[in-house]
Structure 1
């Protein structure tokens, strides 16, 4: 099973999760005018590097063999599709927001456009936990998801109290999805590293 967890990083899923978690907030803040495009371009170097790594893994087109589980292969493709749609939907919503009149019903639909693929990410994880027949891999995926959720809860709690007492500025709540995606990838990396250490001779 250790080899399966290590091979997970040979698939595009974790790399895409990290790239999305870092890149989506940068792009959104730049479009909103909060972050200068010069700084945004510099910061996007890191997600770009992660995307390059993702593209390298896509060259291996036999995901079930790489991951050791057909369920992981299906989950990876679902998460990639949902993450890509999330980034595109977010950019479209930010762009069209300034083009539509205030109070327009279409404005509500455009604003909620990124929420559909965001919910798709949650559904992809839920579906994977139902589809995975390997109890060990299902357990590891649950732990990684909890690590991602724990990161979101910690960040939200800490920032929330700092914001309550006026020590930091208000931030938009949509950051939770990119943070969870990034935390999920981090959790997979932590667990894979633990498996590697457990398999090393003492």
Structure 2
């Protein structure tokens, strides 16, 4: 037993010396609910003016996590729930996260695994880059679709640039910029604007989003 304790302590010490963040080994279940004045998604208003209500339930242990996120407010596809799983951690100021997301829309017969994205996020200090790649699109969307963001956090402000990429869809090349102010951990305000829409296929009016998040203890 003492030898096992020494080995564990030694591994933790070596990880700390190397700058690794060692996730706690205990499991955790967390939940949150939220609302916003619109379903704001990647620079677009999916609800066409309707408000959004959402909820999230997540299980995590040692950097691994899985959960379900559900939402109202999508004008075209109706009710939505997303199944996700991933792993994240840090190395000093460097952060990383890799996950899979399956988007489910029961009202339009989109089932689990029909529409799935792989997501890779890398961050250093206040800067985070995230890439979303469609890897499954059975009868829904197209596998050529991807989306990328670059975000910078300055105190309570976050400036984010996002761009859609899809050779087979009119959304290809649509880019937007968001400026978010986090009043606190629960309330945020976002001003978003499409800045590039070469085919003029989306609503490029500025959008003001008020979002509220309530963790469930």
Scaled by the length of structure 1, the TM-score of the pair is: 0.24
Q: Whose RCO is larger (CA < 8 A, sep 6+)?
A: 1
Q: Which structure's residues are more often strand, by fraction?
A: 2
Q: Which structure's residues are more often helix, by fraction?
A: 1
